[in-house]
Amino acid sequence: MVKLPLSKLNDLFATINGKQDLYLPVDTEKGEAEYKKWQEGFSLSSALNTNRSAKDFFFPQTENIAEFKMEGKNIEVIDTREDTKDFVVFGVKACDAKSFDILDRVFLVEPVDTYYKNRREHGTIVTLSCNTMAPTCFCSLFDIDVANPAGDVSSWMDDETIWFEANTEKGNKFLDLISSLTESTNESDVDAVEELKEATTELMKNQTLANQNMARFKPENLLDLFNSPEWEKLSETCLGCGTCTFVCPTCQCYDIRDFDTGKGIKRFRCWDSCMYSDFTKMAAENPRKTQLERFRQRFMHKLVYYPSKNEGIFGCVGCGRCLNKCPISMNIVKVIKTLSESKGEN
């Protein structure tokens, strides 16, 4: 473990950015926080979390996959990928760090998504423990330890000091990169970090939304949950706007499309949403014709389908973004609560 006075935080950012591209949460004019490439004058946002998650760095909203040029019957396939430079994402919270583990189980299994893999290999995640909790936080429901936020490097911060601890080989390289600025720690530093961890753990107990009973959400109850009459009431006000999927750090659905430039074809992929009426639409028809079916698909995947194939790990990290952004105030916590209580559980 090493430490750095907060008075040298700007020097730290300049040092990192001199070797690798650095991204960190920055305050916006709208009073929110967004990840931006660091430049002189940028300060680390004090916001609890960003408007959109750090997922964008590894699974961007749009990306070119290939290009095709045609001359008569000859087709030239052009690989549009560029070499990814090493980069650092600083200030990632524990919920978003957990989301990478969930996405890895989708994109890094055979057949491996090489676009995602390339970015994961070049990106270093520096997490920052939370010192506060928002009313919309419920990460502890999914056993996420905010006091130990994981990532390649974990960090803890008080009013004067920030401490760093490497968790991976990339983390060790990061500490080497900033070694000219950091100082060694002593026993009092260890005690200070432990006090921060204890205070954070105590805060997590106040996540009232995390007081949900997950006992019913098991693979053996799949059909029972799927056929629950509660879906009709839950989904009746859903607009199908897809906002929840676009702010979600674990949603992984995408579409692949071709665009005729007049000089060739550009193939790209872009985020898609299971809440859209044309999602998975085929030549014959759409397998989920109603908003109820589409609504049910989203939450069944998070709570039953994904965990049934991934050692019981749920497809949600409790970041609370969907609670903040849904225009009709529908969210996964209400779904969990309603479906649990429908069986007399509380």
pLDDT (mean) for 90-113: 96
Which of 27-31, 37-41, 99-103, 208-212 shows the lowest mean pLDDT across its residues? 27-31
Q: Over the chain, what is the mean pLDDT?
A: 93
pLDDT of residue 345: 46
pLDDT of residue 73: 81
Entry pTM:
0.92
Residues 204-217 pLDDT 10s: 888 999 999 999 99
CB 154 within 8 A of CB 97: no
**pLDDT above 90 as % of the chain:** 84
**Residue 335 clears pLDDT 80, i.e. is over it:** yes
Residue 284 binned pLDDT confidence (cut-offs 50, 70, 90): low
For residue 111, cis peptide bond before it (omega within 30 degrees of 0): yes
pLDDT (mean) for 93-105: 97
**Residue 249 clears pLDDT 50, i.e. is over it:** yes
pLDDT of residue 83: 79
pLDDT of residue 188: 95
The owner of tokens 């978003």 is 96
Which of 189-193, 251-255, 289-293, 318-322 shows the lowest mean pLDDT across its residues? 289-293
**Residue 344 clears pLDDT 60, i.e. is over it:** no
CB 246 within 8 A of CB 271: yes
Separation of alpha carbons 47 and 105, rounded Å: 29
Check residue 174 and give left, alpha or beta (phi > 0: left; psi -120 to 50: alpha). alpha
**Residue 70 clears pLDDT 90, i.e. is over it:** no
Which of 57-66, 73-82, 94-103, 327-336 shows the lowest mean pLDDT across its residues? 73-82
**Residue 346 clears pLDDT 50, i.e. is over it:** no
Residues 225-243 pLDDT 10s: 999 999 999 999 999 999 9
pLDDT of residue 280: 74
Residues 133-157 pLDDT 10s: 999 999 999 999 999 999 999 999 9
**pLDDT above 70 as % of the chain:** 97
Which of 87-91, 153-157, 208-212, 286-290 shows the lowest mean pLDDT across its residues? 286-290
**Residue 342 clears pLDDT 90, i.e. is over it:** no
pLDDT (mean) for 240-250: 94
pLDDT of residue 42: 94
pLDDT of residue 343: 60
DSSP H helical segments within the chain, as ranges?
9-19, 94-107, 114-122, 169-177, 187-204, 222-226, 230-235, 243-247, 291-300, 306-309, 321-325, 332-341
